[in-house]
Amino acid sequence: MRSPSWFETNWLTALSSLALEDCMGWVQLPPFGQLPLLKYLELRGMHAVREIGQEFYGNGDVKGFPILEDMIFDGMLNWDGWSGIEDGSLFPCLERLLVSRCPKIREIPTFSATPRVEVEISPDSPPASCLIESLIATASRLIFLVSSCSFLSDLTTEQLNHVAELNLQNCTDPMPAGGFHRLSSLQVFRISNCSTLLSSVSTEAVDTYLLSPSLCHIEIAQSNVHCSLLPRYLQGLTCLSTLVLNSCHLMTSLSFASESPHLVALESITIKDCNELASLDGFRNLSALRKLVVADCYSFCSLPVDLNIVGSLEKLVICGCPMMRFLPEDGLPASVQTILLSKCHPELDTQLQRKEGAEWNKIVHIPEKKLEVGLIDLLTIFPANSS
C-alpha cells in the first residue's frame, strides 16, 4: 500500500509539525525531506516499512530535511534498512532523535548534525547492539529510557560509558548487585515508579558505591525508597548538584549526616509530596547547598537543627506542609536571601501574617519574604523536566 499521493504535492509546504501513527500498510514513506519548514516529525507504528532511503529525503530543490529538529521513530517493527544520501547532507539541524521499538534496524546513516539521541529499550523489542554503536557515533548525548535493568548486562562497558542519561521507569527489579556503577559517565538518573529498586541493598555491595560519581542530577519519583538506604545510594556522589524526591511515601526522615563529607557539590534539594516525611537533618556538611524546597509533605514538621550552619543557603521554600509549626531553634543562616513560607501550620501562618512572635523574629532579617506561592515560585517548586 502506498501513502496518499497528495503527500507528494506541494500542498504541505507550510507544514512545521507532522505526526503519523499506525499507517500500518505503507511500505514506503512519502518524501517528507522536501518539506522546507518541517521541524518536528513523529512516525509511529509503520509496521510495513522495511527500508528508508532516497524516497524519504526527496529530490527537489529542497531535500534532506533542511530544518528538521526533532524526529521520532516508534514501533517500526520490520524496519531493517536506513540508507543515506551521497553527499551526506541529511538532517543538518537535527537536535533530537528518538528511537523506540525498532528491533531490526542495525545502523543509521551519517547525519550532518550531532543530535541528542534518546533510545527506549523495551524488554519485548530491544534495539540491536550494533544500532547502539551506530547511534553512539552520531550522538552528542546518549539517553536511555528503560523499564528493566537486565539490558545493562547485554551492553559492553564501552557502550555504557557513553550513556549520559538514564530514565528508569516502571521497573520491578531490585538494585543490580553492582548497582549502576558501570555507567561511568552517567550525569542524569531519573527513577520513576520502580517499586523495589531502592528498597533494599544486596549484601554483596556493602563496601562499594552504587551509583557513578559522575552523576550531577538525580530524580526519584513514585518509588519506595527506604529512608535508611537513600544516604547509602548517595554515597560518593561528589558531583551531584540536584536531588529531587517526589512521591516517595516510605520515607519518614532523611539525614545527610556522614563521616566523610561527600555531597560537596549539592546545590539544590527538592522534596515534594512525600507524605510520611517528618524531618530532615545532618545538613552541616552540605557546603554548597543554595536551595531547599519542601512542598506538599503532609507530615513534615522539622527542618534540620544544623541548618543555620549552611552558610551557602540562599533560598528556602516550605509550602503545603500543615504540620510545620516551628522554624529551627538556632534560626536560619544569614546567607538566606529569599524565604517562602505558605500553607504551613495555621499558627505559623498567623504569626507570619501578623509580623510578630518568635517565628517571625527568625526570618525578620531575610531580604525577600513571601507568604504566598506565585506563578514563578511554582516553576521553582516543580522545575520543568530538563529532558
Ligand X SMILES: *[C@@H]1O[C@H](CO)[C@@H](O)[C@H](O)[C@H]1NC(C)=O
Beta carbon of residue 259, minimum distance to ligand X (angstroms, whole number): 5
R_g of the chain, CA atoms, integer Å: 25
Beta carbon of residue 56, minimum distance to ligand X (angstroms, whole number): 27
C-alpha cell of 232? 547509602
Beta carbon of residue 1, minimum distance to ligand X (angstroms, whole number): 29
Q: Which is nearer to ligand X, 284 or 325 (CB)?
A: 284
Beta carbon of residue 282, minimum distance to ligand X (angstroms, whole number): 4
C-alpha cell of 185? 559517565
What is the Cα 228 distance to its own chain's centre? 24
Q: Which is nearer to ligand X, 39 or 249 (CB)?
A: 249
Give the interface with ligand X as residue ranges (CB under 6 A). Answer: 145, 147, 169-170, 172, 193, 257-259, 261, 282, 284-285
Beta carbon of residue 385, minimum distance to ligand X (angstroms, whole number): 14
Q: What is the dihedral of CA 32, 34, 38, 41, to 10 degrees?
A: 20
Q: Which is nearer to ligand X, 56 or 180 (CB)?
A: 180
Distances (CA, A) of 161 to 86, 96, 127, 143, 181: 31, 20, 17, 12, 10
Q: Which is nearer to ligand X, 177 or 257 (CB)?
A: 257
Beta carbon of residue 145, minimum distance to ligand X (angstroms, whole number): 5
Which residue type is seen at 253? S
- Separation between Cα atoms, residue 163 and residue 144, nearest integer Å: 7
Q: Which is nearer to ligand X, 125 or 169 (CB)?
A: 169
Residue nearest to ligand X (CB): 170
- Separation between Cα atoms, residue 273 and residue 293, nearest integer Å: 11
Coil vs helix vs strand at 120: strand
Beta carbon of residue 286, minimum distance to ligand X (angstroms, whole number): 8
- Separation between Cα atoms, residue 244 and residue 190, nearest integer Å: 9
DSSP annotation string for 209-274: -SS-TT--EEEEES----TTTHHHHHTT-TT--EEEEES-TT--EEE---SS---TT--EEEEES-
Beta carbon of residue 11, minimum distance to ligand X (angstroms, whole number): 34
Closest CA to 232 of 269, 253, 206: 206
Q: Which is nearer to ligand X, 35 or 303 (CB)?
A: 303
Q: Which is nearer to ligand X, 170 or 350 (CB)?
A: 170
Q: Which is nearer to ligand X, 26 or 256 (CB)?
A: 256
- Separation between Cα atoms, residue 173 and residue 169, nearest integer Å: 11
